[in-house]
Structure 1
């Protein structure tokens, strides 16, 4: 194969490897980050102390309790009661019972969603969870803390829809694609990079190009994370500057923390490989020896000329 053909083939393979590297990182993060229930709960556990999450939870709890009182009294409650319920809900979000309920609710919801995504027989069905065990756990914690009327808190077994059927089916298809991509994309990226370096006319330059391409792919992935955050918050219904938007943003930041770290590690790895290859080529070459001129010697005696008779 001619050197130009080898260089062109090497450039194409290295470009493909550079494009697949961030895609493989994203697929691996999606399968081993948010898809793991333990890691997910551990990632969102500190969010129970986030002010935006507390405000959103307090609004949800206050609205639910007010609706329960409306049903019990057959009429709307007055403003003073609503203000009291709101203050009580905000105070509850600062207790240890709220933290336990937060972890239990996230674990229950995440396990239900993950079970539905992995079950092909659940096609066409919405993802629902029963939060009665969570409510019962919070009620027992209130009773242990001697909260008045804690035992009278009703525990209702109501199926709460987490994902509609069409959203669950769409996510199930995407989950299967990610499962395959998380295994094959890293192998393909490594295979393309190794082959591109092997067929290159100048392997040192190919290694440098592969390192730079990997670093650029990691940088693009790092820039895509905040763009995804804006798009996620923008898709929220209603105004995007309320507590719900802040809560969603905080959850997004917690879940993508490992992705941001992986993208910058990809940048550092690519730059390290490129720098090592460049330094090796610049300072690792053997020094060229300049030819030393021989010292001038004594002139050779002239040859006797033959006279032709």
Structure 2
């Protein structure tokens, strides 16, 4: 195979590898990060202390309790104050983790099953804690607060089929896209006539892919917050989005840093080799060597 053909084939393989890299990182994050319940709960745990998230939880839980309470105005301030006070206790963090685990398990079960039903999360553990606190504070009628049916709908049945198809694709793409990208990069470097240049191109493409991934995360955040119907929930949604995509942002910066470092290393080694060859004295021509006359 000629050098020109080898370089052309190498360029195509490296370009495909760099194109697949950000999509592979995104698919792997969704398949192995978001789909793991333990990692999801660990990621969401610090948000229990975020003021914006606590305000949204307070409004949601308070509204759910008041919806079930057959009492009007006099009860509402006590309930909201109790929920707000409870959101600052260690018990709330425990309830927050339990609620997120229940939410994640409910969504995964719905995605892996074939049933058509509304995916809901039960807020009864949080409501039970609020009821107990109201009772301890001797709030009138606190004992009449029902907690067994305080549920919030997460996914409607009409969205499940589309989400199931996307989830199945992610499970396959999360493994095969990164593997394919790595295999194409290695093959492209191996068939190149100048492997140092091929490695430099791969490194620069990796840095470009990392930059594209970081840009996609930033654009996704902007679009996600812009689509929220209630602007008051945007700070909480932004905090949740940032927590869930923290791994993606780290990967994007890592890809950009590693790619630029490798490219710089290849350039420096090439310059050093060029300088060494320039300083090396030229080999003497045997035809111009003086002949020794033997006596």
Q: TM-score, normalised by structure 1?
A: 0.82
1:77 equivalent to 2:73? Answer: yes
Change in CA separation of 1:86 and 1:160 when aligned onto 2, cut-off 3 Å: closer
Deviations 1:84-112 (A, max 9, x none): 44333322221222222211111101111
Cα distance between partner residues in 2 of 1:117 and 1:66: 31
Deviations 1:7-28 (A, max 9, x none): 2211111111011111111111
Q: Gaps (5+ residues) in structure 1?
A: 301-309
Verify the 8 A CA contact 1:127 1:168 in the aligned structure 2: no
Paired residue for 1:155, among 107, 124, 147? Answer: 147
Instruction: Kindly state the Cα deviation for residue 118 of structure 1 after the two structures are TM-superposed.
Output: 2.1
Aligned to 2:16: 16
Q: TM-score, normalised by structure 2?
A: 0.86
- 172-181 vs 91-100, which moves further: 91-100
Secondary structure of the structure 2 residue equivalent to 1:128:
strand
- 159-168 vs 50-59, which moves further: 159-168
Secondary structure of the structure 2 residue equivalent to 1:161:
strand
Cα distance between partner residues in 2 of 1:148 and 1:210: 68
Q: Which has the larger radius of gyration?
A: 1
Cα distance between partner residues in 1 of 2:92 and 2:161: 32
Deviations 1:150-198 (A, max 9, x none): 7654222355422011222211111111110011111111111111112
Instruction: Kindly state the Cα deviation for residue 201 of structure 1 after the two structures are TM-superposed.
Output: 1.8
Aligned to 2:48: 48
Paired residue for 2:261, among 248, 272, 276? Answer: 272
Cα distance between partner residues in 2 of 1:158 and 1:68: 8
Aligned to 1:257: 246
Verify the 8 A CA contact 1:208 1:278 in the aligned structure 2: yes
Cα distance between partner residues in 2 of 1:141 and 1:280: 69
